Amino acid sequence: MNNVSTSLTASELVVAYSTGELSPVEATKVALRAIEEHDQKYNAYCLVDPEGALAQAKLSEARWRDGNPIGGLDGVPTSIKDMFLTQGWPTLRGSNCIDANQPWDVDSPVTARLRENGLVLLGKTTTPELAWKAVTDSPRTGITRNPWDASRTSGGSSGGSAAAVAAGMGELSVGTDGGGSIRIPASFCGIVGFKPTHGRIPLYPASPFGPLSHAGPMARSVDDIALLLDILATPDHRDPAALAPPVGTYREAVRRDVRGLIAAFSPTLGYVDVEPEIATLVAAAVTKLAEAGLQVEETDPGFTDPLDAFGVLWSTGAAKWLSTFPEGSDKLVDPGLRRVWEQGLTYSASDYLDANAERAALGIKMGEFHTRYDVLITPTMPISPFEAGHDVPPGSKFEGWPEWTPFTYPFNMTQQPAISVPVGFTTEGLPVGLQIVGPRHSDDLVLAVAKLLEEVLHS
């Protein structure tokens, strides 16, 4: 298994804390030891704060001892992607163009909620520069590798978070997802990764990728995802797109009975080539869901690949962000990001509005689709993890990363909740994920179907 962790989930940890079987200090030391032993190989972290983590763990230990934990995940070792502002730690976003020597005195909403609920922050995980692509390497931090096979990519852009969770270097992480950046590495690293409805988790500062951008939890179980989402799904006045608080809790909703609901299974979306082993594993998992009582109908949602519109939205966002960088930055950034930057500068406001209109139309189409089907099921990825250090699989026909991740970015455009759940391994021992997509605002439903899948796969 190449050092992939078999340690407790976050849910199991807090049960052990409550009984006194384990303490947050012990769990934090285990996570820090795993980082020390494995991260030189995987490069999942760009910043680790052992002293700070142990200090937080000691405070949590005292709260548990006194019977006063301050949250459902108090004391759980957690990492955070280096795209979120963190007071006292630099947020460099994988870029040599950002000066580390400046005040870092603001927490993003995500960081603030983690602190308020007593989670132990171990450090920050790697990202490609400005989270621009679906693998994780950057000029600043180098290449992040897959714990199941260190010669392969962990995926991206939340590849550091996925590798950290998969390798036992912390039970939880929070990533970002603008085109699949949580679900892609979750699938490649064999963990669970959830992109909730846009606005469910507040963002600050606002992302230049605008309506595409989401934050979301990453973990080794669906229960852990639900517990972390309960903490993160709190409105923050700094995000005008933030949704109202959810009704009820996700930790309860995840156990909702979904048998009898209608699921559409689309093996290819009508236009994607999928590796045969992946197709077989995903189809077998869908069969188990059907045997468990989900009504499954094989059908496509009926849209064509929105790659061109996504490309306009993505590249113009990158160009806007990079325009704020110091003069000469074009010579320092990732060469692929520079090409995206240059492409974004060629589009007009009219081009952007046309792409945004196509995005909206796709959302309306999927809304209509979900009047007939409660959820849509697809593979998360059509391909297995490929050689690390490349933006596209070597020798492939692909020119850019969105071309090899066609199942994920459409649902950033539609702003729907989507989760990747591991469903098995290829004959090479590489993880495979299945994606569950629901209508907007149905985060609870998506989690409940994911929980059923998890149960039938492990029964």
Instruction: Determine the Cα angle at 27 with ends 453 and 181, to 5°.
Output: 45
- Amino acid identity, residue 241? A
Q: Is the confidence at residue 1, as pLDDT, over 80?
A: no
Q: Is the confidence at residue 3, as pLDDT, over 60?
A: no
Give pLDDT, residue 5.
42
Give pLDDT, residue 2.
42
Determine the longest span between alpha carbons in the chain, in angstroms.
61
Cβ atoms < 10 Å from Cβ of 288: 16
Whose tokens are 């988790």? That residue is 201
Q: Is the confidence at residue 4, as pLDDT, over 90?
A: no
CA distances from 416 to 111, 177, 429, 446 (A): 23, 12, 31, 10
Looking at per-residue pLDDT, the higher value among 363 and 208 belongs to: 363
| CB of 374 closer than 8 Å to CB of 438 | yes
Quick: pLDDT tens for 374-393. 999 999 999 999 999 999 99
Give pLDDT, residue 286.
98
Those residues whose C-beta lies under 8 Å from the C-beta of residue 73, and which sit 6 or more positions away, are: 10, 14, 117, 118, 119, 172, 227, 228, 231
CATH homologous superfamily for 10-458?
Amidase signature (AS) domain (3.90.1300.10)
Quick: pLDDT tens for 87-144. 999 999 999 999 999 999 999 999 999 999 999 999 999 999 999 999 999 999 999 9
| Share of residues in the chain with pLDDT > 70 (%) | 99
**Confidence class for position 228, pLDDT limits 50, 70, 90:** very high
| CB of 8 closer than 8 Å to CB of 108 | no
Q: Which of 72-86, 149-163, 329-343, 440-454 has the lowest mean pLDDT?
A: 329-343
Chain centroid, CA 331 distance in Å: 30
Average pLDDT over residues 291-309: 98
| CB of 378 closer than 8 Å to CB of 435 | yes
- Indicate which residues carry an active-site annotation: 81, 157, 181
With 0.95 as the threshold, say if the pTM is over it: yes
Quick: pLDDT tens for 22-46. 999 999 999 999 999 999 999 999 9
Residue 304 is classified by DSSP as -
Query: DSSP of 412-425, one letter per residue?
Result: HHTT--EEEEEEEE
Quick: pLDDT tens for 357-369. 999 999 999 999 9
Give pLDDT, residue 275.
98
